[in-house]
Structure 1
Amino acid sequence: MLENRCINNDHLIYNSFLFSQENMDRLKDLMIDEELAKDSYLFNEGDKSDSLYFIKDGAVKLTRVTDDGKDLTLYYYQTGDIFGDFGDTPTLYQTYSAIATCDCKIGVLNRRDLEIAIWQNSDLGIDFINWVSHMNRFTQLKLRDLMFFGKLGALASTLIRIANTFGQEKENAIYIYEKFTNHELASMIGATRETVNRMLSQLKKDDIIHYENGKLVILDIGYLRQICHCEGCPRHICRL
């Protein structure tokens, strides 16, 4: 399962590509390395947010508990991703908990150090603005898909994002090379496992998906796109 091992594939999409190599080198020079064991918390919801995080090796998921007690997992970040809440006030607090899905090496970027680097290098500031804009759009579209098109639309959107992130196209189908449990899918859309079971069973009955060796195969991604009113966003936006 995704939560039990690191993701290691050259085709995965990451968000640090928005920074030039020169600026990534500048950021790496500022980072303090932190080792994180599998299932450990990098931070908890409510902790003070004064850093950004770069995954040098490993994978991290961001989760929170809803008011009705459901676990909601909105983000999976992997090697090459930069993430973190970084607002306009030093008293900003984390809105999620970050949990390592495997042993990780994390580069921690202190807010003050980053501010000085941006002040000294205007091109780094431009790259940072691009990264913030990208993350805002990424979040807005994901929340839209979860909120506006019902549970089936949320599931369809999530399956498309999984296909873009972990899929391989072959013989007019998309084979997902990572295994996702129904419980994991339920936590991504804020639904119960029973609800996800019913929706997946119907999609399988309608020949939209099927399973091979316990892994998902998407037979008709066009149908899924219709359900969630897909706008055809690029893969670096439409990812898990």
Structure 2
Amino acid sequence: MNEQLTVIEARGNTNCFSETNFNRLLVSMKDRIIPEGSHLFWEGDLSDKLFYIKRGRIKLTNSTDEGKELILYMYQAGDLVGQADPFFSTKHTFNAEVIEEAEVGVIEQKDLEILICQHCDFSIDFMKWMGIHHRLTQTKFRDLMLYGKPGALCSTLIRLGNTYGEKHGNHTLINKKITHTDLSNMIGATRESVNRMLSDLRKKDAVEYDGGMIVIKDLSMLQDICHCELCPSEICRI
């Protein structure tokens, strides 16, 4: 997790692609407009496409047997979304819900396979993208399993700051309204637990609220609680 909080700009998690290879992706896309509240795909659907977000936001979720929603990832403009299994026929293991009307470029699996077969440099960049995605998943599981709910919450706040943060002097404003329910769904805790942990952080002057949005005041305190390993910004994101 990076101490320097910045907004992840256009190209998002596709920064690992060279300009040439990214343009190859763009050429293979078919644009679609997806309204807010609809889904790109559902758990169990055939995983035969990738989606590049040109605008809007999308969250990937799963549900427990008790019906509780878990937010696995939140994607925005510049991100490539999907379960990447070229040359294999697999099914999605999560749902992709559009939370802000999105314009996406749809990349069919057969077109992706052609790019991988025809351009060795593209295949290397694609493996880098898959590696970043796996590291992101691993670090989230690490935070949830090793450092308890307080560590998971602090890690999530840092990731939100890296993704949506705006610097205000020594503080960082998370420029998206994130509810306590959203936070509870991100770390697998109850909303009441999140309320208590945020109240404790506010008493310690680590965070505060400004117009309903969270402000990180003491980044180092959050890093200490979650045993921050100073991962690069492409990994330390929500």
Distance 1:98 1:23 in 2: 25
Distance 2:45 2:81 in 1: 15
**Aligned AA (2:223):** R
Which residue of 2 is the match for residue 170 of structure 1? 168
Is the Cα–Cα contact under 8 Å of residues 8 and 163 in structure 2 kept in the other structure? Answer: no
Is the Cα–Cα contact under 8 Å of residues 12 and 165 in structure 1 kept in the other structure? Answer: no
Distance 2:92 2:50 in 1: 11
Is the Cα–Cα contact under 8 Å of residues 56 and 101 in structure 2 kept in the other structure? Answer: yes
Which residue of 2 is the match for residue 160 of structure 1? 158
**Aligned AA (1:28):** L
- Shift, 1:169, TM fit: 2.7
- Shift, 1:191, TM fit: 1.1
Cα gap change, 1:55 to 1:88, in 2 (>3 Å): closer
Q: How does 1:102-181 map to 2 (within 5 A)?
A: 102-181=100-179
Q: How does 1:1-240 map to 2 (within 5 A)?
A: 11=9, 14-87=12-85, 90-240=88-238
Counterpart secondary structure, 2:61 = strand
TM-score, normalization by structure 2:
0.92
| Larger RCO of the pair (alpha carbons < 8 Å, separation 6+) | 2
- Shift, 1:44, TM fit: 0.3
Let me know the Cα RMSD of the aligned residues. 1.6
Percent identity of the aligned residues? 47
- Shift, 1:88, TM fit: 6.0
Tell me, which stretches of 5 or more residues in structure 2 are unaligned?
Answer: 1-6
**Aligned AA (2:77):** T
Is the Cα–Cα contact under 8 Å of residues 87 and 113 in structure 2 kept in the other structure? Answer: no
**Aligned AA (1:226):** D
Counterpart secondary structure, 2:53 = strand
Counterpart secondary structure, 1:42 = strand
TM-score, normalization by structure 1:
0.91
Which residue of 2 is the match for residue 6 of structure 1? none
Tell me, which stretches of 5 or more residues in structure 1 are unaligned?
Answer: 1-8
Tell me whether 151-160 or 66-75 shows the greater mean CA deviation: 66-75
Counterpart secondary structure, 2:12 = coil
Aligned pairs, number:
232
Tell me whether 165-174 or 120-129 shows the greater mean CA deviation: 165-174
